[in-house]
Amino acid sequence: MKIENIKKMVTLPDFLKKIGREPIRRNGDFLHYRSPFREDKKPSFWVNIKTGKCGDFAEGGEIGDIINLAARWYNCDIKTAINNLEDCLRLGSFSFEKPYIPKETTNKVHITHIQPLQNAALLQYLSGRGITPKVAKVHLQEVYYKTKNNDPKQYFAVAFRNDKGGYELRNKYFKGSTTPKAPTTIKNNSETVVIFEGFMDYLSCIEYWNSLNQTLPYDVIVLNSVVFARTLKLHTYKSIKLFLDSDSAGQNAANIIEIENGADKVINLTPKFIPKGCKDFNDFWMNEIKNKK
């Protein structure tokens, strides 16, 4: 879709309305709003409906047109902002909404739609975590959800499916899940299993192996929560390798797995791969990317 067509189909007042901002007053061609980016007791944010430009008196300058505003709202570059606006027009007005952090518990998240991963904002979020679209699209889906059945607002996130059909949900602003909660098992017909705490670590490990021109050859279990460390059935494996978080919860989970399965079978690789200052395998992978630049 051409940029000029986007500008015609999505006006600045329309966009601001979708993200919860109505004009406080009008002065000629200028509409005055409270800033959507900060606490703003005075309506310092302005829109010139004649020129299609916006800005903020308090920040002392012009932001630009609808695409510049979208780039700032989504915290992304211009190309991604254009893709996001196209998604808004294709998927409906709900995707104008900035991802929401629901206060309700996980069973209050209601998925309304699941599709292959393609949302530009979600792909950019994953790229910022070192996960390429090629890997992400194989292992993740794109979901749209509500926090209440009767809530008119919908939000979007990447989704990682567990063994019982529930999902771990992530976007730049939200970390949550649906019920039922469970680990995720990936079988590769191996006598060795690798255990990760979260799916971002698992995907980072895939990226790491890909960087070596190799494929992760082991079975994989993603806990999705350390509470499942006690429930794992690992007696069929000859070797159990751990890449858990470098914190007390990760160490406790490692201790439980060793006690349940025998220390001779368990290899805790966290101390080797997760250097001081890093929390998990994703941190390790991000450092690897930084060092290669």
Tens digits of residue pLDDT in 82-118: 877 776 666 454 344 444 333 333 447 888 889 899 8
One domain, residues 208 and 245: yes
Counting residues of the chain whose pLDDT is more than 70, the rounded percentage is 88
CA-nearest of 262, 132, 248 to 197 is 248
CA atoms within 13 A on the CB side of 227: 3
One domain, residues 282 and 238: yes
In the predicted structure, residue 10 carries a pLDDT above the cut 70: yes
CATH code where residue 43 lies: 3.90.580.10
Residue 72's pLDDT is what? 79
Residue 93's pLDDT is what? 42
Number of domains in the chain: 3
One domain, residues 163 and 192: no
Taking residues 23-45, what's their average pLDDT?
88
Dump pLDDT digits (tens) for 215-237: 999 999 999 998 899 889 999 99
Dump pLDDT digits (tens) for 108-156: 788 888 989 988 889 999 999 999 999 999 999 999 888 766 666 778 8
Q: Structure pTM?
A: 0.66
Q: Which residues contact 17 (CB under 8 A, 6 or more apart)?
A: none
Structural domain boundaries, residue 126:
99-177
Residue 279's pLDDT is what? 87
